[in-house]
Amino acid sequence: MRAGFYTGNYTYEVRDVPERAPIKDEVKIEVAWCGLCGTDLHKFNGQNGASVVNPPIILGHECSGIVVEVGPECKYFKPGDRVTCDPSYGCGKCIWCQQGLPNFCLERHGVAKGFADYVYPPEQNVYHISNHLDLQSAALAEPLSCVIHGLDLIQIQSGKTVAIYGMGSIGLLMLQLVRYTGAGKIIVVEKETIKQKLALKLGADMAVNSDQLEQISKEENIDYVIECIGLKKTMEQAIHVAGKNAKVLLFGLGNPKQPLQFNQFEAYTKELSIYTSYLNPQTTNRAVHFLESGLLNIKDMISAELSLEEMGNELRNHIYSKQGKVMVYLSGKR
Ligand SMILES: [Zn+2]
Ligand SMILES: [Zn+2]
């Protein structure tokens, strides 16, 4: 089978790796689609993703597909099932797993590296999807589950004003979920006109640039600010424009070598709460339900469908990932 590897030093290679039968409770899945995540781009650029990177590694962790074979101990899946995956699980034994915090597991196991024709996750990481949900949308269960966890942390109250920085694929998912939490007003901060238009179509009340948001923040209280870019500048701005008693969620993946600076006195006088969000503890099931509800517009978020072989160029040049969500097709089944 083919697999797309990050081999270190800004290089990507499609290699042939042996295909095998599933063992124990593994589910062998013929991958249909895999989303390109911002963390894949980080890894390709020599930075860490959500964890440390030791190449060569197979990229991708947002995949969906069809079960082709199951291991002898597998109970809940059979060939032909349509599924999506959670790409990692906790050991169940360490101090963090014992506290119900598997996202901090000391030996987190990565599975379902989706830039490959087949993946072999254990069944605890596999989720059934209904027949009416297309496999391409189902591949977004992982990023959506991360967004759900972030929103769980800040508990948006209905009627309040929310600003969201960055309309990449995470920002667009965030926007649509925030709409359904009953936010009173959603202001998105985005410099690209084409993405501003898309944000307005997907439920934003206003789309502005960062200077305009700064002006707005002087006239009205921004109750929640969600940063989905990960740049020092925009994260610092997010803290600055947040209003009295506001909550700031720094969701974007920042550069570990660039600590933020902010004025503590200003934060103090606003009684600010600053949140971060790490991975997706037990939220995949809810992500699948949300996708199945049909409430989310996934189609308009997708900027390109590329083959495994075309990903080298995309990882180097970010042509389509700048415009929206890039989907890699493996079998390409819907
Ligand atoms: Zn991801
Ligand atoms: Zn653990």
pLDDT (tens, 9 = 90+) of the chain, 334 residues, equals 999 999 988 899 999 999 999 999 999 999 999 999 988 888 888 776 666 778 899 999 999 999 999 999 999 999 999 999 999 999 999 999 999 999 999 998 889 999 999 999 999 999 999 999 999 999 999 999 999 999 999 999 999 999 999 999 999 999 999 999 899 999 999 999 999 999 999 999 999 999 999 999 999 999 999 999 999 999 999 999 999 999 999 999 998 899 999 999 999 999 999 999 999 999 999 999 999 999 999 999 999 999 999 999 999 999 999 889 999 999 999 9
Number of domains present in the structure of the chain: 2
> Do residues 156 and 180 both lie within one domain?
yes
> Do residues 135 and 66 both lie within one domain?
yes
> Do residues 198 and 175 both lie within one domain?
yes
Taking the centre of ligand 2 as the mean of its atom positions, its distance from the CA of residue 27, in whole angstroms, is 22
> Do residues 6 and 126 both lie within one domain?
yes
Ligand in nearest proximity to the CA of 50: 1
Ligand in nearest proximity to the CA of 63: 1
Residue 124 lies inside a defined structural domain of this protein: yes
> Do residues 253 and 219 both lie within one domain?
yes
The CATH number of the domain holding residue 39 is 3.90.180.10
Ligand in nearest proximity to the CA of 173: 1
Q: What CA–CA distances, in Å, run from 111 to 21, 35, 51, 259? A: 16, 15, 14, 31
Taking the centre of ligand 2 as the mean of its atom positions, its distance from the CA of residue 103, in whole angstroms, is 8
Taking the centre of ligand 1 as the mean of its atom positions, its distance from the CA of residue 244, in whole angstroms, is 32
Taking the centre of ligand 2 as the mean of its atom positions, its distance from the CA of residue 92, in whole angstroms, is 5
Residue 304 lies inside a defined structural domain of this protein: yes
The residue with tokens 């081999």 is 7
pLDDT computed for residue 39 by the predictor: 86
Helix (H) / strand (E) element for 11: namely strand 11-16
pLDDT computed for residue 50 by the predictor: 62
Provide the residue range defining the domain that includes 209.
147-276
Taking the centre of ligand 1 as the mean of its atom positions, its distance from the CA of residue 162, in whole angstroms, is 23
> Do residues 19 and 136 both lie within one domain?
yes
Taking the centre of ligand 1 as the mean of its atom positions, its distance from the CA of residue 157, in whole angstroms, is 27
Strand segments (E) across 146-283: 161-165, 185-189, 206-208, 224-227, 247-250, 273-276
Taking the centre of ligand 2 as the mean of its atom positions, its distance from the CA of residue 101, in whole angstroms, is 8
Distance CA 323, CA 303 (A): 6
Ligand in nearest proximity to the CA of 147: 1
> Do residues 23 and 129 both lie within one domain?
yes
Residue 131 lies inside a defined structural domain of this protein: yes
Residue 291 lies inside a defined structural domain of this protein: no
> Do residues 162 and 123 both lie within one domain?
no
Taking the centre of ligand 2 as the mean of its atom positions, its distance from the CA of residue 193, in whole angstroms, is 44
Ligand in nearest proximity to the CA of 62: 1
